[in-house]
């Protein structure tokens, strides 16, 4: 669990009344560190500002038998790859990029915090049996093409929802040309196509990584059972994609969505046609997706070439090490010094700008600009809360090259740069070491193991705290139909969990449900006026913010629902995007389709996640309509729900809604939430 989601997960676990977690569990402090001045300064500030939260997580971990990785340890997915993932493991994590562990042949799935609580409470974790998409890799990576380009290409093919309900399995002769951490990169960003998880077959690259991270015994065991950890010959996949790595171009995806794929040879022309800003303001490398030793050495090789010609980064340049082990190793081997000399700032071992934890100073909000990152996600406003920032996603080496040129139209495979002496020069292909020749430097020990006896450990939550709040049970369903629900907002277009529950400065309230609910739907676009956070209060006729309007409805006993479009809830695993609507009086979310994790999160909190049987019915609902869900006492798996739409003029029509709830999940709805059900309410 990462610290932003672990707060609510541990608060829910405490509510269960259980004395200890039933399975090995860890918490990783990576989300609450804001990037501004540099690693050590930002880390020190975060420890001070978040002292209350860190103390809660540390003591709760000790009390309930959970391992605790302190602030500065690194990003959860890199630490999992270095310490916990192994071929054949099944692991869940409260972050959508948990599939990173597929780079070591594990079945690693991102879930919401409530799912984690179930597992920690020794309850079964369930998942609808996924399809399997096969990606056959032939040829081999070479030149400027990197593992990141594989998933950027796949995202362009499948789009942000093409992997929903599926596991992506990579196979074929091209697999062996990809490093273990490169496979992790590909699996990590599989979250951006909606995949349940992604996985690679066990091979010698994984064995080398296991041995380098002091897990030789695991490698030897995996070698014995390699036949069970490989893709099956002649497997019958639901869909097969074939990619020839030998001809795959470097890709840059964006802006505003990670599936808008551009081969580097076509990016400049497209950018000019679309009017995207060509001036690259900031280049950012690292993050959980691309911060391996190999990534850092390849980026440094490009920086070294430029500096030999008297050239440094024209763009602001930042480096995010994925873990304390990576930070310590690149410091020891001079890589960090090279990147600093190039003009880079080495940030803390944390998520930072990737999740909006970035105190950006070089532009004003609302200023149109371009940034290029080696991150995984680039939704509107995600990195810096500026909706006019055009964020593009690429490999670390392409980000470095574009930062040298300072121009989005630069193609390092064909274009030249001008050295300090005025002469043109061309960058050679990047090169780097897959693993450090001197082994990894573990750096500072930042792990706190749970004590064998925790009877003396106390976990206190100040009732006046603005950061933490003990949970109260949600109300139990009254057994009646949901009649005349008000439409809080009809969302236009993409509605990610960032739109529903923004991150960035709001992360500090992740342990306080009432406070963080003040960000509910503030990024979602209201179809009525094409504006975020401005909806009509159907009781007063006045326009106001979405959270304020919802609070007014709740105070007056008005039940409400939300209408949404395709792939609703894509993105982060954050369950706050389900908790907040439930807390503020929401009863149902009605959309064309859901992203997997968010749909489950809604079920867990006693909300009704419903889809239009006929997607065109989305257009038939107006913001002032009243919606009634009929026959709920007879709701059953596979049985559609009747929805009566009553219009302002008194006329009405009936549409059909579908759901995917099984008997147990229907039980959560009737009990008011899964936690209520667990507690026997």
Domains of the chain by residue range: 126-247, 251-416, 482-680
Side-chain half-sphere CA neighbours of 283 within 13 A: 30
CA distance 241 to 264: 21
DSSP one-letter string for 347-404: --SS-GGGGT-B---SS-TT--EEEEESSS--BTTTTTS-TTEEEEE--HHHHHHHHH
pLDDT at 16: 84
Determine contact, residues 392/253, Cβ cutoff 8 Å: yes
Reported as type and span, the H/E element at residue 117 is: helix 113-120
Q: Given the residues 3, 25, 31, 115, select the one marked as catalytic.
A: 31
Q: Catalytic: 514? A: no
pLDDT at 573: 75
Task: Work out the number of other CB atoms within 10 angstroms of the CB of residue 204.
Answer: 12
Residues 451-490 as b/e (b if ≥16 CB within 10 A, e otherwise) read eeebeeeebebeeebebbbeeeebeebeeeebeebbbbbb
Q: Catalytic: 475? A: no
CA distance 550 to 548: 5
Q: Domain 126-247, CATH 2.40.50.140 — does that match?
A: no
Side-chain half-sphere CA neighbours of 101 within 13 A: 27
Nearest Cα to 156, choosing from 24, 267, 33?
A: 267
Residue 634's Cβ-count burial label (10 Å; 0-12, 13-18, 19+) is exposed
CA distance 588 to 582: 9
CA distance 601 to 96: 12
Enter the tokens of residue 530. 């094409």
Q: Could you give phi then psi for residue 586, rounded to 5 degrees?
A: -70, 150
Task: Work out the number of other CB atoms within 10 angstroms of the CB of residue 648.
Answer: 10
Determine contact, residues 147/376, Cβ cutoff 8 Å: no
Torsional class of 356: left (φ above 0), alpha (ψ -120 to 50), beta (otherwise): left
CA distance 171 to 483: 51
Measured in Å, how far apart are the chain's first and last C-alpha atoms?
Answer: 27
Nearest Cα to 198, choosing from 166, 172, 228?
A: 166
SS3 state of residue 208: helix
Q: Could you give phi then psi for residue 530, rounded to 5 degrees?
A: 55, 35
Enter the tokens of residue 26. 């860890």
Mean pLDDT by 10 residues, the chain (681 residues): 94 90 97 95 97 96 98 97 98 96 98 92 91 98 98 97 95 98 98 96 98 98 96 93 98 97 98 98 96 97 98 98 98 98 98 95 96 96 95 98 98 98 97 97 97 93 94 95 98 95 90 97 97 97 98 98 96 90 98 95 97 98 97 97 96 98 96 89 54
pLDDT at 340: 98
SS3 state of residue 311: coil
Strand bridging mode 447-448 / 67-69:
antiparallel
Cα distances (angstroms) measured from residue 278 to each of 282, 302, 369, 378, 510: 12, 21, 8, 17, 36
Nearest Cα to 75, choosing from 339, 283, 296, 355?
A: 355
Enter the tokens of residue 48. 């001070």
Q: Catalytic: 314? A: no
CA distance 364 to 81: 37
Q: Domain 251-416, CATH 3.40.50.720 — does that match?
A: no
Determine contact, residues 355/503, Cβ cutoff 8 Å: yes
Q: Catalytic: 377? A: yes
Q: Given the residues 42, 95, 118, 625, select the one marked as catalytic.
A: 95
Q: Could you give phi then psi for residue 133, rounded to 5 degrees?
A: -100, 125
pLDDT at 681: 54
Enter the tokens of residue 480. 């009646």
Task: Work out the number of other CB atoms within 10 angstroms of the CB of residue 192.
Answer: 29
Rg (CA), the chain: 25
Q: Catalytic: 360? A: no
Q: Catalytic: 467? A: no
Q: Given the residues 301, 313, 517, 572, select the one marked as catalytic.
A: 572
Task: Work out the number of other CB atoms within 10 angstroms of the CB of residue 234.
Answer: 5
Cα distances (angstroms) measured from residue 84 to each of 324, 519, 555: 16, 34, 46
- Please tell me whether the peptide bond between 255 and the residue prior to it is cis, using omega within 30 degrees of 0: yes
Cα distances (angstroms) measured from residue 450 to each of 26, 67, 640: 10, 6, 47
pLDDT at 670: 97
Q: Given the residues 97, 298, 327, 574, select the one marked as catalytic.
A: 574
Sheet order of strands, 280-286 included:
261-263, 251-253, 389-393, 369-373, 280-286, 316-320, 344-346
Determine contact, residues 399/319, Cβ cutoff 8 Å: no
Q: Given the residues 28, 77, 97, 377, select the one marked as catalytic.
A: 377
CA distance 352 to 359: 9
Name the one residue in this structure whose structure tokens are 């950061």: 467
Q: Where are the beta strands (DSSP E) in 559-612?
A: 560-563, 586-591, 608-612
pLDDT at 680: 76
Within 8 A by CB and 6+ apart from 206, the residues are 87, 103, 104, 105, 180, 183, 200, 219, 222
Task: Work out the number of other CB atoms within 10 angstroms of the CB of residue 264.
Answer: 24
Quick one: CA dihedral 69, 73, 74, 80, positive or negative? negative
Domain formed by 482-680, architecture:
Alpha-Beta Barrel (3.20)
CA distance 145 to 397: 9
Residue 56's Cβ-count burial label (10 Å; 0-12, 13-18, 19+) is buried
CA distance 91 to 198: 13
Q: Decide if 126-247 and 482-680 have a common fold.
A: no
Q: Given the residues 30, 149, 333, 498, select the one marked as catalytic.
A: 30
Task: Work out the number of other CB atoms within 10 angstroms of the CB of residue 81.
Answer: 30
């Amino acid at each position: 669990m990462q610290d932003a989601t672990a707060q609510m997960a541990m608060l829910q676990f405490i509510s269960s009344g259980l004395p200890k977690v039933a399975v090995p569990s860890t918490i990783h402090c990576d989300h609450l560190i804001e990037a501004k001045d540099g690693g050590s300064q930002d880390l020190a500030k975060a420890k001070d500002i978040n002292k209350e939260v860190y103390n809660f997580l540390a003591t709760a971990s000790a009390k309930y038998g959970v391992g605790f990785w302190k602030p500065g340890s690194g990003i959860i997915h890199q630490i999992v790859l270095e310490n916990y993932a192994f071929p054949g493991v099944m692991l869940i994590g409260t972050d959508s990029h948990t599939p990173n562990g597929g780079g070591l042949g594990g079945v690693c799935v991102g879930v919401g915090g409530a799912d984690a609580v179930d597992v920690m409470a020794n309850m079964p974790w369930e998942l609808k049996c996924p399809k399997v998409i096969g990606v056959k890799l032939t040829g081999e990576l070479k030149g400027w093409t990197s593992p990141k380009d594989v998933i950027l290409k796949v995202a362009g093919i499948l789009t942000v929802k093409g992997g929903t309900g599926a596991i992506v399995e990579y196979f074929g002769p091209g697999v062996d040309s990809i490093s273990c951490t490169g496979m992790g990169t590909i699996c990590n960003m599989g979250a951006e196509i909606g995949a349940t998880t992604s996985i690679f077959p066990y091979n010698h690259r994984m064995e080398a990584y296991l041995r380098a991270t002091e897990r030789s015994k695991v490698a030897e065991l995996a070698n014995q059972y390699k036949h069970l950890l490989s893709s099956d010959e002649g497997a019958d996949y639901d869909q097969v994609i074939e990619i020839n790595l030998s001809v795959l171009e470097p890709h840059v995806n964006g802006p505003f969505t990670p599936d808008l794929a551009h081969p580097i040879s076509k990016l400049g022309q497209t950018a000019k046609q679309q009017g995207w800003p060509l001036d690259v303001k900031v280049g950012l490398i690292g993050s959980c997706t691309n911060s391996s030793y190999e990534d850092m050495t390849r980026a440094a090789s490009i920086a070294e070439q430029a500096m030999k010609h008297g050239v440094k980064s024209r763009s602001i340049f930042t480096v995010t090490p994925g873990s304390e082990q990576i930070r310590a190793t690149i410091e020891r081997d001079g890589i960090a010094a090279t990147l600093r000399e190039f003009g880079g700032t080495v940030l803390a071992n944390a998520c930072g700008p990737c999740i909006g934890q970035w105190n950006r100073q070089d532009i004003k909000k609302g200023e149109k600009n371009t940034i290029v990152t080696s991150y995984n996600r680039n939704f509107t406003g995600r990195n810096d809360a500026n909706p006019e920032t055009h964020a593009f996603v690429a490999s670390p080496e392409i980000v470095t090259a574009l930062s040298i040129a300072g121009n989005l139209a630069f193609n390092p495979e064909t274009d030249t740069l001008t050295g300090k002496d005025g002469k043109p020069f061309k960058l050679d292909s990047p090169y780097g070491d897959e693993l450090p020749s001197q082994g990894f430097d573990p750096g500072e020990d930042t792990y706190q193991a749970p004590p064998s006896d925790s009877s003396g450990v106390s976990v206190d939550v100040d009732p006046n705290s603005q950061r933490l709040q003990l949970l109260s049970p949600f109300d139990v369903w009254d057994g009646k139909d949901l009649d005349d629900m008000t439409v809080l907002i009809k969302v236009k277009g993409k509605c990610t969990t960032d739109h529903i529950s923004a991150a960035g400065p709001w992360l500090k309230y992740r342990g306080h449900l009432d406070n963080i609910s003040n960000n509910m739907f503030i990024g979602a676009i209201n179809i009525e006026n094409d504006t975020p956070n401005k909806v009509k209060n159907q009781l007063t006729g006045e326009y106001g913010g979405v959270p304020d309007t919802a609070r007014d409805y709740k105070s007056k006993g008005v039940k409400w629902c939300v209408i949404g479009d395709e792939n609703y809830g894509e993105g982060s695993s954050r369950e706050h995007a389900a908790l907040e609507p439930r807390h503020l009086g929401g009863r149902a979310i009605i959309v064309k389709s859901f992203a997997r994790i968010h749909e489950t999160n809604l079920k867990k909190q006693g909300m009704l996640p419903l889809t239009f049987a006929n997607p065109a019915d989305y257009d038939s609902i107006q913001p002032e309509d009243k919606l009634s869900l009929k026959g709920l006492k007879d709701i059953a798996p596979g049985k559609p729900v009747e929805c009566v739409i009553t219009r302002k003029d008194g006329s009405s029509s009936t549409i059909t809604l579908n759901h995917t709830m099984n008997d147990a999940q229907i039980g959560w709805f009737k009990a008011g939430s899964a936690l209520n059900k667990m507690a026997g309410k």
